Amino acid sequence: MGLPSSARYVIIGAGIHGLSTAWSLARDPRVSGDDVVVIDKTGVGAGASGIACGVVRNNYFQPAMRELMAHCVDVWESDPEAFSYHPVGYLQISHEAMRADVASIHEQQQAIGYSSTFVEGADESAAYMRGIFDDWQAQGVTSVLHEHRGGYANNMASLKGLLGKAEAQGVTVVGGVTVTGFDRDASGAVAAVLTDQGPVACEQAVVAVGPWVQQIWAMLDLPFETDVLGGDGCLHRRPTWTYMCLQEGTLEVDPGYLTANDGTMPPVVHIDTDAPLYDEAGLVTDAPWGVYYKPDFNFGGVQGGYMPYVVDKPADQVAVDPYGPDSPDFIVGEDFYRTWTAALAHCQKRFEGKSHLMSTEPSGGIGSFSPDNFPVFDTFCDNVYFIADSNHGYKMIGVGPLVAAELLGEPQGLLAPFRWSRYAEGKLHPVSNSPYPWS
């Protein structure tokens, strides 16, 4: 299908956010499917959504994130077959420094009706985990939060499900279209999205490009440094966007190798511990570490990841293509493979001696993070709505329906804590003791 010359809504990016927003807009009786066009420089799922690990969880220390994710899980559960969603649950297994944080997550999950079980104490936690995996042997654990909802979804299969829903409502999705700029009127609002195949006039543009946010940000002359009001009452200037390398991979065993004691697919496992980590060669790390993993037939093994690291970039290269020929230098390499396989063996005896089965197939990739590492959902230049997920993206399938409602004049309380103004106002999200920047 060719690129139309105009549309009421032009959505840039055919990943989880772009497709869910398009579908949600087009199914509203106030909008016709012909009013919505989605463009992508490659195609559906060609970026971060298409290689996402796919974990769906509520486990956040920040109340606003927890409430938003409860809504997103509702959307995943609304059509698990179309979304290729597996509601196996999620385990947050933690060391003592995180116990109070995780306890508060459990308390607030109960307050919003999100089903979970919290176990405290080293012996109690070990017994609970051995009730799921009889070979559980992790050390340094004093609590387990078991979310009975959540789980994971298969990335490309879920995107195809969303694509089918959007196209069934009449949405036009066009791949192979590169955005080159914006035509703006005297007030600064966008009158048309400029592409390598011609302009597309619009009333509203939606930017849902994941790690490519820096490119579109630059085209709109938005600032690459942001003043953030800190708890000390002072403004601190920070980079608006920071690239991080997401370290993920797959152990090439039959996914059925990681089953629970009862033979079923187990919950997603996430462990954070301060126990020293060893492998056959000796000490891997004596600093706190954390990994997550799950059996996944889509990836063909046991798949998961480890903590990301910041990619250093000169200020004059902020708008490069993070997956293109001029991408920032990043490697998911031997340090990750060694740490992740050692962590699997630390947790479960069945993984001892299996490090040689680690796949070298590329996984993970680059994420573009905001000043506080949490999403930005807001309007800029009068009529350009940014869904800047700060790498929380794939699991947030429910953001699209909320954004669609806002575009139709209905402000959404679940998105309000993620406005850009929070930086200048010092309305920042609380920081947990997790080693992950997104928890």
Radius of gyration of the chain (CA): 22
Name the domain boundary from 369, 387, 406.
369
Query: Can you give the pLDDT at residue 108?
Result: 93
CB 319 within 8 A of CB 214: yes
Domain that holds residue 403: 1-84+152-223+372-428
Q: Which residues pair with 192 in a beta bridge?
A: 183, 201
User: Are residues 266 and 303 located together in one domain of the fold?
Assistant: yes
Residue 367 pLDDT class (50, 70, 90 cuts): confident
| Token pair 């070298």: residue | 360
Q: Quick: pLDDT tens for 14-37.
A: 999 999 999 999 999 999 999 999
The CATH number linked to 347 is 3.30.9.10
Which residues, in sequence order, are bridge partners of residue 362?
none
For 289, the enclosing helix (H) or strand (E) is strand 289-296
pLDDT at 437: 63
348-354-357-358 Cα dihedral, nearest 10 degrees: 60
Model pTM score: 0.93
Q: Which residue has the tokens 């298969």?
A: 154
Both tokens of 67, joined, read: 């409430």
The last residue of a domain, from among 348, 369, 390: 369
In whole angstroms, what is the distance from residue 433 CA to residue 439 CA? 9
Distance CA 88, CA 31 (A): 36
Same domain, 376 and 333: no
Higher pLDDT, 190 or 46: 190
Residue 316, pLDDT score = 46
Average pLDDT over residues 360-370: 78
Q: How many angstroms separate the Cα of 169 from the Cα of each of 178, 199, 362, 391? A: 24, 24, 35, 28
Q: How far is CA 223 from the centre of its chain?
A: 24
- As a whole number of angstroms, the distance between CA 184 and CA 285 comes to 52
Residue 229: inside a domain: no
Sheet holding 151-153, edge to edge: 55-56, 151-153, 85-86
Q: Give the tens place of pLDDT for each residue, 240-298.
A: 999 888 888 999 999 999 999 999 999 999 999 999 999 999 999 999 999 999 998 88
